[in-house]
Amino acid sequence: MSDLLRIAVALDAQGWHPGAAQLEKPTSIRTWRRLIGSAEHDGVDFVTIEDSFVRRGSGHLDALLIASAVAPATSRIGLVPTVTTAHTEPFHVATGLQTLDHASRGRGGWHVQVGDASAEAPLFGRRDPAELSTGLLLDEAADVIEVTRMLWDSWQDDAVIRDLATGRFLDRTRIHDVRFHGRFFTVEGASIVPRPPQGQLPVTFLAHDTPDYELAARHADIVYVTPSSDESARVIVDEVTEVSKRVGRPADSLRDAVQGEPLRAYADLLVLLEDTTSAARDELARLDDRASAPFVSDAQVLATTPGDLADRIVAWHALGYAGFRLRPARLPDDLVRIGRDVLPRLASAGVHRAGDEGGTLRARLGLPRAPNRNTDRATLSLDSTEAVA
């Protein structure tokens, strides 16, 4: 394991606490540019942008479009929007994320979200929510990820030749059709977007239990997990290791069975930061009162000081966590605190280096540029049973 960890920040429209609405214009791209620009300036490695088909609060913008709009205004930070796999077509997922990677010059990623079937299915009217079990949605997500990766590889890196002498823009022999016949959909043909600058965008997934860990182990580059204590942090790392070994990754390195690269485990923590612990707890109580209910989250809620948070990150990094995704309870307050007060402490401890370097998100995460699985074959064929093998 590298001595250096990576820090991501998960951005929601108004902050993660429902009582924390501070932003005047959460649906303004200028607001998002300020937030992500601040994170980039302070050395955050990448941001994830939350999204859902379900309306939240006063509404929110599409995460993939936010990332694409912010990309030209940033130069170093990774941009990882949430894109759901239920009710979306793999072709649109693939091309939208490819476009983001081109717009950001190789800093795009994908936060896979399975979705809330009972709340989202009525918006589309094509599927009965009662039939959408968690297991079925995870199986569908696996196929969507696999087909998206296949579409990213459907163009070779040198397919665009721009040969002025012959008037040829593309070499058709370097564009390969995907033929996927699965349980949920059929895809035949190639992407309309040239291969992403990174080859394959980093794929991330939030996991809470064994079936989630299995999906991440087979298909993701980063798995976000939600420890609630030092003991659960150890237990979760052990389980992810065991699941990874079961699906074909050696337990000592959590190596990806498909890409041949490490699966990075990141701990998710929801943070509210003040100068003293008592002030942080008082602020949490105030937000709970504003929201008319105690705040409950899937991730541990830490109302604490920047120093205590930094100490916890260092301790859990020693357990095997390659990074941390911090969810600011309030925006912009806790985002500012992370950059101003937490990251310098981690740098002083020797476990994090501010992300000053350029290059791709894969490079920042320690992932080499992905080879094209389709280079030597004219057609990439797969059925859904092979996709998860």
User: What sign does the dihedral 147-153-265-42 (CA atoms) show?
Assistant: negative
Cis preceding-peptide flag for 332 (omega within 30 of 0): yes
**Does some domain include residue 294?**
yes
Mean pLDDT of 286-293: 95
Given a contact cutoff of 8 angstroms between Cβ atoms, the answer to whether 86 and 114 are in contact is yes
pLDDT tens digits for 95-126? 999 999 999 999 999 999 997 767 787 778 76
Percent residues over pLDDT 70 in the chain? 90
Percent residues over pLDDT 90 in the chain? 70
Q: What is the residue range of 15's domain?
A: 6-146+196-368
CA separation for the pair 152, 201 (Å, rounded): 9
pLDDT of the residue at 121: 75
CA separation for the pair 28, 191 (Å, rounded): 31
More confident residue, 355 or 99: 99
Res. 305: pLDDT tops 80: yes
pLDDT tens digits for 118-164? 778 777 876 777 777 889 999 999 999 999 999 999 999 988 877 77
pLDDT tens digits for 54-78? 766 667 899 999 999 999 999 999 9
pLDDT of the residue at 275: 98
pLDDT of the residue at 38: 97
pLDDT of the residue at 87: 84
Res. 254: pLDDT tops 50: no
CA separation for the pair 125, 129 (Å, rounded): 9
pLDDT of the residue at 259: 47
User: What sign does the dihedral 119-120-123-128 (CA atoms) show?
Assistant: negative
Give 356's pLDDT tier (boundaries 50, 70, 90): low
**Does some domain include residue 376?**
no
**Does some domain include residue 258?**
yes
Mean pLDDT of 87-94: 94
Give 256's pLDDT tier (boundaries 50, 70, 90): very low
CA separation for the pair 101, 202 (Å, rounded): 10
Res. 384: pLDDT tops 50: no
**Does some domain include residue 313?**
yes
Neighbours of 123 (CB within 10 A): 11
Report which of 112, 104, 113, 81 is spatially closest to residue 10, judged by C-alpha positions: 81
Mean pLDDT of 284-309: 97
**Does some domain include residue 60?**
yes
Res. 14: pLDDT tops 90: no
CA separation for the pair 88, 189 (Å, rounded): 18
Token duo for residue 179: 């033929």
Q: Which of 36-40, 109-113, 242-246 has the least mean pLDDT?
A: 242-246
Token duo for residue 36: 């992500």
**Does some domain include residue 172?**
no
Token duo for residue 85: 């796999």
Mean pLDDT of 175-192: 94
- Structural domain count of the chain: 1
Report which of 156, 150, 365 is spatially closest to residue 261, judged by C-alpha positions: 365
Res. 389: pLDDT tops 50: no
Mean pLDDT of 309-315: 98
**Does some domain include residue 122?**
yes
**Does some domain include residue 334?**
yes
Mean pLDDT of 182-205: 96
CATH number for the domain harbouring residue 338:
3.20.20.30
